[in-house]
Amino acid sequence: MASGQGMMRWAALAIMLAGQAFAQQGPGGGGAQGPTEVGVVATAEEDVPYTVTLPGRAIAYQQTGIRPQVGGEVLEISYDPGRPVKAGDVLFRLDPETLAAALAAAEAAVAGAEASLTQAQNTVTRYRRLEGSGVSAVDRANAEVSLKQAEADLKSAEAARDAARLALQRTEIKSPLDGVADVAAVSVGDLVTASQSESLTTITQLDPIYVDVSESSARMLRNRARISAGQLVVNSGVTTQLILETGEEYQGEGRIVSPGIAVSPTTGTVPIRLQFDNPDRMILPGQFLRVKLTLGTTRAVLVPQRATSRASDGTLTAFVARDGKAQQVTLSEQGSYRNSWIVTQGINPGEQLIVDGLENLRAGAEIATVPVTIDAQGVVREMDERGEG
């Protein structure tokens, strides 16, 4: 009997504890959740650099294929592939024997023409001195014709000699510019011909180097309209910044050398060529790069990138606090600045932008806002009573 009374007491205690727990939870049994706490910053319009980022490709400043101007056997390859060469450096040497013999024959022809000219000059001089003393006018005229022919023969022989000398000099194939030589496409002992279609090697000048980018013609028109409306203040010069494939900023200076004067009918873009110093040959032709062009300053709202998300279709969105609820807004941006988007539409100055507590946040959710700041490292800090982070 005592055992039954003990069981009843334990059951009563369990019922009482369960009732207290139910009372603490309140009606509904699961307990009502309060509003989600989120960190907010007040947006403000300010002057920010107007920058556009364009994809591009590196293009050699100068590049030329080396082809022989005379034929012959390759005797020597006089350079190291991948090493810098100067204009005038010998790259290949061809067998000079045949052309040296041709030069010797041409020089002999010049000597013979000079002797013939001397003889013709002496004949004319003698006939002039003997004129009226047995030398007819016909003989004198013929002598003068022979003199002119001898003069022409000498000039022809000298031209042939100069051509032979030039051909012999061209057995030393030289670089026409400063640059870097590619691997040779021939070997010692190969026969080459004058002006053949295949290059012996290629010389590429890498410093400076070009970067070709393309800008949308539609955006160029919009920018012109913004300039006319005073919404974009253009700088005295365009500032350029090159971004490497690794995401690093390149330290070399750049400038626009060709702003483009026609729109591509297939892409709707305008080609722009820039030039960058490249003393360390860090940038190579064909390399993919990005170029940031700072055109001027514009009035815009800066929205921290950490507070935004981008959909697969490119739509940029963020959350703002309005009437105690989270509201999702679609933003129009014009580039980035200091880890923030330069937003021109979608959010107004003075709005409460949600920058913290975004995990699982949904549009229409009830929220409790807490003023915060974001430091230079992108860390969110709660503001103290003085309004400082």
* pLDDT-based confidence at residue 33 (cuts at 50, 70, 90): low
Is the pLDDT confidence value at 72 over 50?
A: yes
Q: Which of left, alpha, beta for 134 (phi over 0: left; psi -120 to 50: alpha)?
A: left
Distance in angstroms (rounded) separating the CA atoms of residues 62 and 59: 9
Output the pLDDT for position 367: 92
Highest mean pLDDT: which of 14-18, 233-237, 373-377? Answer: 233-237
Place of tokens 């507070």: 307
Distance in angstroms (rounded) separating the CA atoms of residues 309 and 318: 7
385 in Cβ contact with 375 (< 8 Å): no
Distance in angstroms (rounded) separating the CA atoms of residues 252 and 279: 9
Output the pLDDT for position 28: 44
Whole-number mean pLDDT of the chain? 88
Is the pLDDT confidence value at 386 over 70?
A: no
Is the pLDDT confidence value at 12 over 60?
A: no
Catalogue all structural domains in the chain, each as residue range(s) with its CATH number: 37-46+300-382 (2.40.420.20), 50-60+205-298 (2.40.30.170), 71-95+171-198 (2.40.50.100), 97-169 (1.10.287)
Is the pLDDT confidence value at 197 over 90?
A: yes
At 331, list the tokens.
């933003």
Is the pLDDT confidence value at 103 over 70?
A: yes
Distance in angstroms (rounded) separating the CA atoms of residues 247 and 34: 43
- Three-state SS sequence of 69-136: CCCEEEEEECCCCCCEECCCCEEEEECCHHHHHHHHHHHHHHHHHHHHHHHHHHHHHHHHHCECCCEC
Q: What is the pLDDT of residues 333-366, one digit of tens each?
A: 877 888 889 898 999 999 999 999 999 899 999 9
**Strands, E assignment, the chain:** 36-42, 45-66, 72-77, 84-85, 90-94, 172-174, 179-181, 191-192, 201-216, 232-243, 254-258, 269-276, 288-304, 308-310, 316-322, 325-337, 340-345, 352-356, 367-374, 380-382
Output the pLDDT for position 236: 82
Is the pLDDT confidence value at 29 over 70?
A: no
Q: What is the pLDDT of residues 105-139, one digit of tens each?
A: 999 999 999 999 999 999 998 888 887 677 788 88
Please state the rounded mean pLDDT for residues 299-308: 91
